[in-house]
Structure 1
Amino acid sequence: MTALVPAQRSGPPEDRGTLARPTRTGTAAVLVLIALLGAALWSVAELRLNVATLVDSAGNAADFLGRTLPLDFPPLAEVLVLCGQTLAIVVCATLLAVLLSVPVAVLAAGNTSPAPAARYGARALVVVARAVPDVVLAIVFFRLFGLGAAAGVLAMGLHSVGMVAKLYADAIEQVDEGPRTAVRAAGAGRLQELVSGVLPAVLPAFVATALHRFDINLRISVVLGFVGVGGLGFEIAGALRRLDYQRGMALALVVLGLCVVVELVSGAVRRALLGGAGESGRRRGPGAALAALLRGRAGRAPAPLATGRLTPPWTGRRLRAALYAAVTVLAIALSVPTAGLSPAVLLGGLVELPATLGLFWPPSAGGILPDLLAELAVTVQIALAATLLGALLALPVGALAARNVAPTPGIAAAFRAVVVVVRGLPELILAIVFVVITGLGPVAGALALAIGAVGLLGKLVADSLEETDVRVQQAVRATGASRLQVFTAVTLPQAAPALVAHLLYQLDVNIRSATLLGIVGAGGIGFYLLNASRVLQFGVVTTIMLLVFATVMAVELLALWLRRAVA
């Protein structure tokens, strides 16, 4: 990381301690980061995101609050039905993503792919799945299957493959090759190697990734409700179209509560699967706890050979793992009928697939290509401005949420709670609120994404700071350094590469999100996307999708290069 922090040269003792020369790649990376910072500052100024704009909107905020209170909650039975329908759709979508991602990840991982062509093809499929907005997929599937759960399940499921398969492939590539080599030496085939030598080691990381994607899909379901997917999002969209803010915001509060509960439960399960901190002061590697559990060595129970047992003993951890598995199977069994998925509808839609895809080809600009390009530029401006403002908000919140940085455990817990609550707020709901307060346009989208960044970026910052080497921090503190000095001199430099990667990831996320927020008038190209689908100009939908795809791919390639340059 010679481009970011001073490095020491290797060589004779008299030469040690001198600064290493920055490489060309490192220098180029720093210049690109400076250019991105300049572009973000320019975007903030261009969009007029300043205190004066917020002050001018104070009256609208008071008026919105007056039209929202008191909240109008539906009857409890109706709320439970809507929550059940939403969770069923999200469970089915996440299950579909997992089932599709496992074989794709096996092909994409360098140590399990049968051939380079298969690996590159699988990696390309992952990139395409991430780059195509789920709203576009939902529009296509609505043409095939009509309004309802099927379109939402397929749209979220296929889009989720882009994230889930990538993380699964990374987990497979990081697996210990020892067990797999032993299985191969015993004469096992390729499938047996995967089942016996790879799956037990990566299963905890697979489950944790699926739970994390479930959290994300729950928030995405609210967005898809505005284009016809049932559940809480669909009801919120209907209420806001009627300008019934009392009912709409009440349902939004239900979504917030549901997201927070799911986040807390899935977070507890992920921590149980991934284990805690080891003696070195760093967290144990992914899957350490459950991998030990699967090997029968979890807890303090004696090894099977010492007691003559042929199976691992039923320790507390093994009981919890069995309980998690039983709950998962039950949730899946209940979700399929609750979501209202019909095999007949799915088969009928597949028959119409060629004709439906023909509606979206060839691409067409509809005579508004200059407008589309201008709105695409606004979408990028929104993402840049939101990333900068979100970083300014998330960095201090994330630092105070880190247990090794916060002054007291109580402060760390309080800021962790703030992060959880903000993560539960769908950006679309925030965008709607800001549209009412600040008016239609990119200001609402940038403010919504900036606040939303506190949830994701704040959590990533806190986790990165906690994963730094505590022993070095304790050694510096023992010399009499203050807490602030330890943070700036030791903790922050250790976490700097990860923080840069998180900021680039947040920019990537914000570009995708800015596209979607346009459907509620929060600026950007999303407004044209929704209008084109409503007036059945599917060629324009394809053109917009290609423009967004090219932008996302360019940002992703730039982020990939920068992450490698600063690592």
Structure 2
Amino acid sequence: MTVQTTQAPKTPPPTQPVSLSSASRTLARPRAGGVAALLVMAALLGFACWTFVDLRINVATSTDSASNAVDFSRRMFPLDFPPLGELLKLCGQTMAIVVCATALSVVLSLPVAVLAAGNTTPHPTARFAARGVIVLARAVPDVVLAIVFFRIFGLGALTGILAMGLHSVGMVGKMYADAVEQIDEGPRTAVRATGASRIQQLISGVLPQVLPALVANALHRLDINLRVSVVLGFVGVNGLGFAIAESLGSLNYQRGMALALVVLVLCVLVELLSGAIRRALLRNTDAGNRRAAPGWVPAPRLRAEGVTRPPAKTAAPDPARINPPWTPRRARRAGYAVTSLLALAACIWGADLSAGQFLGALGNIVHTLGLFWPPETGGILPTLLTDLFVTVKIAFAATLIGAVLALPIGALAARNVSPSPATATAFRTFVVLVRGIPELVLAIVFVVITGLGAVAGALALGVGAVGLLGKLVADSLEEVDPGVEAAVRATGAARWQVFWSATLPQARPALVGHVLYQLDTNIRSATLLGIVGAGGIGFDLLNASRVLEFGVVTTVLLLVFGTVLLVELLAVWLRRIVR
């Protein structure tokens, strides 16, 4: 209903009631699909709880396995480290392969992410194709890629670099695409208004905003690849992983666990480096965005309100200067770039990569890929489907374990939530230590303790998820807008009230995305844990590759790919609604 008046005042008095039409525009509209999203998330949670009961993960199982844990600890100590020279050689080989693989994934992921992001893709078809490439890269396990490249390129670092590099595009490309979609469109629009081309818009309007996320995700993937290298050691990739596989294969737990401890130390060092660089990037970003901080008032508004502000003291510009001056911040960023390039060059040299080996083996690609097509079932399709369902149950149970433990641990590790800096540092250290233990090593330990089966796989992935998910939760809580927290705190709210009213609501979309990402990761990781007897379809995958039934390998890949694709589509839908 519209109310007509003969004369409306130019400026309504403060006591004038607001019309229904104007008030309705200020109310947030309910997001379509919100109820359906809640029902779906409740169903997923219910299924995860059911897997606990079905897999018989309970206190009784842990109690029965206590004696096995004591026996394993006796067989593991004292640790047996190799000679220092051999140990340094293994560490150098591993780091060279991991760094080169991560660099390859970053180079390949940048164009894929630009095409996959909804605000930078040139066409919806290109976005769909890029998202398909990302999902496909995540669905194909590292071990399968290593098997394929081993038949093409033989032994050497090149096999591990290509396997980890191409597989990492699945995660790195997805993270980069999400970062691009969340940028502020203002700078890009301003650059476009000057007549800049699409490439210039990306370089000037998009890249500066997502650079901290690009570096942080690259360092995060470097840490993951370091642990993945242990898995690839079981299929012949050189380095610490291969040495661990040989030791555990001969039941030499003293040497195998000693080498696993070395991997843990390397992961901790990489995490410390990653954290230092990430904090430097966030500090630089905050310094550059001080004008946008809460409470800042632009000068035109002050002048309109009759308030004068003294002009800022700035140095007179030098008309002869073309490049910006070398400030400490610019020198620091240049130092980071030069150090990174030197480290990459050293790793390429240390990996002993050969262009001749790569080019000479390209002729075997068609023949090798032909071995994997067409897909075959080998007469065991019912077994494959049953084992695939076991893999899904392992992934859901592990995700539930990881989420229940990681949410409080991650909150206490966040500096803006933790009651003290010492508490945040302690929980950050705990998360780093847990993340440093490769899931495959955890699976071997739990297989020895609890026996063969899905329980060992669920426990191994659950403990591993605490490290990854705990870090992601802590980072998401630290990256919320501090102005909202300060506003709630100014009302006299307690720490827990600020957390539930200001911090958690801002981080909720990211937390939902992290849990779904962990589920996706656990499905693929559960596939690999079957290699060591931790249940699921991974055993069928490894057995088929050993007996050269490559058609069955392709069938397993298609089954895993379909499962991962469903999880990806569900995650995209939930993330869009919860945002």
TM-score range, shorter chain: 0.7 to 0.9
Does the CA-based 8 Å contact 1:106-1:112 persist in structure 2?
yes
- The answer as to whether partners of 2:147 and 2:235 remain within 8 angstroms in 1 is yes
| Match 1:545 to one of 530, 554, 557 | 557
CA distance in 1, matches of 2:549, 2:315: 66
**TM-fit CA distance, 1:468:** 3.7
Asked if residue 60 in structure 1 is aligned to residue 62 in structure 2, the reply is no
Match of 1:344 in 2: 356
1:60-139 counterparts in 2 under 5 A?
60-139=68-147
Are 2:173 and 1:161 equivalent residues in the alignment?
A: no
- Structure exhibiting the larger radius of gyration computed from Cα positions: 2
- Worse-matched range after superposition: 461-470 or 424-433: 461-470
Counterpart-to-counterpart distance in 2, 1:185 and 1:22: 34
Q: Which amino acid aligns with 2:151?
A: R
Which of residues 513, 524, 529 in structure 2 aligns to 1:501?
A: 513
1:350-499 equivalent positions in 2, closer than 5 A: 350-477=362-489, 481-499=493-511
2:38 aligns with one of 20, 30, 33: 30
Residues 1:117 and 1:142: Cα distance change in structure 2 (over 3 Å): same
Structure 2 vs 1, CA of residues 161 and 475 (structure 1 numbering), >3 Å: closer, same or farther? closer
Note closer, same or farther for the CA distance 1:112–1:491 as it changes in structure 2 (3 Å cut): closer
2:325 aligned residue (305, 308, 313): 313
One-letter code aligned to 1:549: F
Match of 2:54? 46
User: How many Å apart are 1:556 and its aligned residue?
Assistant: 1.1
RMSD: 3.1
Query: Match of 2:140, as an amino acid?
Result: V
| TM-score, length basis structure 2 | 0.86
Match of 1:536 in 2: 548
Map of 1:289 onto structure 2: none
SS at 2:104 equivalent: helix
Structure 2: how far apart are the matches of 1:205 and 1:372? 39
CA distance in 1, matches of 2:505, 2:186: 34
Identity of aligned residues (%): 69
Q: Contact 1:72/1:247 (CA < 8 Å) preserved in 2?
A: yes
Aligned partners of 2:287 and 2:328: how far apart in 1?
22
Aligned-pair CA distance for 1:183: 5.8
The answer to whether the 8 Å contact 1:179/1:197 transfers is: yes
Change in CA separation of 1:488 and 1:411 when aligned onto 2, cut-off 3 Å: same
Asked if the contact 2:32/2:577 (under 8 Å) is kept, the reply is: no
Shift of 1:127: 2.1
Q: 1:304 to 1:177 in 2, by over 3 A?
A: farther
Distance in 2 (CA, whole Å) between partners of 1:173 and 1:127 is 18
How far apart are the structure 1 equivalents of 2:123 and 2:316?
40
Supply the distance in 1 between the matched residues of 2:238 and 2:109 (Cα, whole angstroms).
Answer: 25
CA distance in 2, matches of 1:275, 1:475: 22
- Report the AA paired with residue 316 of structure 1: P
Q: Which amino acid aligns with 1:516?
A: L
Letter in 2 for 1:339: A
Question: In the alignment, is the contact (CA less than 8 A) between 2:135 and 2:568 conserved in 1?
Answer: no
Partner AA of 1:318 in structure 2:
R
Q: Check 1:346–1:124 CA distance in 2 against 1; reply closer, same or farther (3 A cut).
A: same
Q: Deviations over 1:451-501 (max 9, x none)?
A: 111111112222233334445545555555443344344443443333222
* Aligned residue in 2 for 1:297: none
- Corresponding residue for residue 12 of structure 2: none
* Cα deviations by residue, 1:222-244 (Å, 9 ceiling, x for unpaired): 11111111110110001000000
Moved over 6 A (4+): 13-16, 19-24, 279-285, 300-304
The residue number in structure 1 matching 2:267 is 259
How far off its partner does 1:167 sit? 3.0
- Cα deviation, residue 271, structure 1: 2.2
Q: Give 1:11 deviation, angstroms.
A: 7.9
Shift of 1:266: 1.8
- Aligned position for 1:295: none
Unaligned stretches of 5+ residues in structure 1: 1-9, 286-299
Determine whether 1:335 maps to 2:343.
Answer: no
Moved more, 473-482 or 409-418: 473-482
Does residue 223 (structure 1) correspond to residue 231 (structure 2)? The answer is: yes
* One-letter code aligned to 1:81: K
Q: Which residue of 1 aligns with 2:281?
A: 273
Going from structure 1 to structure 2, the CA distance change for 1:281 and 1:422 (only over 3 Å counts) comes to farther
Structure 2 counterparts to residues 187-226 of structure 1, below 5 A: 189-196=197-204, 198-226=206-234
CA offset at residue 274 of structure 1? 3.4
| Aligned twin of 1:564 | 576
Distance 1:221 1:400 in 2: 30
Q: Which amino acid aligns with 1:139?
A: I
| CA gap 1:310/1:391 in 2 versus in 1, 3 angstroms | same
Report the CA distance shift for 1:339/1:277 in structure 2 as closer, same or farther (over 3 A): closer
How far is 1:448 from its partner? 0.9
CA distance 1:227–1:106, shift in 2 (3 Å): same
String of CA shifts for 1:421-447, please: whole Å, max 9, x gaps.
Answer: 111111111111111111111111111
Task: Note closer, same or farther for the CA distance 1:284–1:181 as it changes in structure 2 (3 Å cut).
Answer: closer
What amino acid maps onto 2:105 in structure 1?
A: A
* C-alpha contact (below 8 Å) 1:372/1:528 kept by paired residues: yes
Q: Which of 317, 335, 339 is matched with 1:323 structurally?
A: 335
Query: What is the count of residue pairs matched by the alignment?
Result: 543
For residue 534 of structure 2, the aligned residue among 485, 501, 522 is 522
C-alpha displacement of 1:181? 5.7
- Alpha-carbon distance between aligned partners in 2 of 1:200 and 1:411, rounded to the nearest angstrom: 33
SS at match of 2:361: helix
Shift of 1:276: 6.4
Give 3-state SS (helix, strand or coil) of 2:235's partner.
coil
Q: Name 1:239's counterpart in structure 2.
A: 247
* Deviation at residue 522 of structure 1 after TM alignment: 1.0
Distance of aligned partners of 1:564 and 1:183 in 2 relative to their CA distance in 1, 3 Å threshold = closer
Residue 343 and residue 27 in structure 1: after superposition, are their counterparts in 2 closer, same or farther (change >3 A)? same
- CA–CA distance in structure 1, aligned partners of residues 365 and 533 of structure 2: 31
Query: 2:100 touches 2:348 (CA, 8 Å); kept in 1?
Result: yes
Q: Which moved more, 1:393-402 or 1:544-553?
A: 393-402
- Amino acid across the alignment from 2:511: L
- The alpha-carbon deviation at position 28 of structure 1 amounts to 1.3
Indicate conservation of the 8 Å contact 2:139/2:557, yes or no.
Answer: no
**Whole-Å separation in 2 of the counterparts to 1:404 and 1:79:** 40
Kept in 2: contact 1:283–1:467 (CA 8 A): no
Distance verdict in 2 for CA 1:405–1:210, change over 3 Å: closer
State the secondary structure of the residue aligned to 1:238.
Answer: helix
- Structure-2 separation of matches of 1:137 and 1:248: 25
